[in-house]
Amino acid sequence: MTALSRQRDLTVRDGIRTKRFSLKGCIDCHAVTGADGAPVTAASPSHFCRTCHDYVAVRVDCFECHASRPETKAPAENPPGNGGAAFAQYVKGVGR
């Protein structure tokens, strides 16, 4: 837990965002899929964090703020923006 807290501070305060320091990295790999084929949230007892925490009767409060499953891209909400193209244009603009 101490190690996790340390990593947390390094990410939040210093901006170190390697997978090692990333809760997102944990979630992306350890996600458990439910009956509907979609990753379950922490509301489900089969969520990978809960399997141990339930056993020792410790409530996880990480997921009151953090997403407990990998991001599923809804097409309507995340339109296929031209983020990459726009960025290329930004960089090109520097030369002007």
Partner 1 sequence: MSCESRNGTGCGGGAACVRAHTHADAAGESRRAFLRDAAATVVSTLATGVTLYAFGAAAATAGREPSEKATSKVRWGLLIDASKCPEGCSKCVTACQVENGWRDTGHPETDAQWIRKLTVRNPKDGATFALPMMCQHCANPPCVDVCPTGASFKRADGIVLVDKHTCIGCRYCMMACPYKARSFVHEPLEGQKPHAPRGKGTVESCTLCVHRVDEGRPPACVEACNDASRGAMLFGDLNDPSSEIAKRVAAYRTTRIRADLGTDTGVYYRNI
Give min distance, CB of 85 to partner 1, in A.
Answer: 9
**Measured distance CA(14)–CA(11) in Å, rounded:** 6
Residues constituting the chain: 96
Pick the closer one to partner 1 by CB: 55 or 96.
96
Q: Where are the alpha helices (DSSP H) in 15-95?
A: 23-30, 48-55, 83-94
Structure tokens at 82: 């031209």
Measured from the CB atom, is 55 or 79 closer to partner 1?
79
The rounded distance, in Å, linking the Cα atoms of 82 and 66 is 27
Compute the least distance from the CB of residue 54 to partner 1, in Å.
20
Instruction: For 57-68, give the secondary structure using H, E and C.
Output: CCCCCHHHCCCC
CB of 56 or CB of 74, closer to partner 1:
74
The contact set with partner 1 (CB under 8 A) reads 8-10, 12-18, 24, 27, 64-67, 70-71, 77-78, 81-83, 86-87, 89-91, 93-94, 96
Q: How far is the CB of 56 from partner 1 (least distance, A)?
A: 21
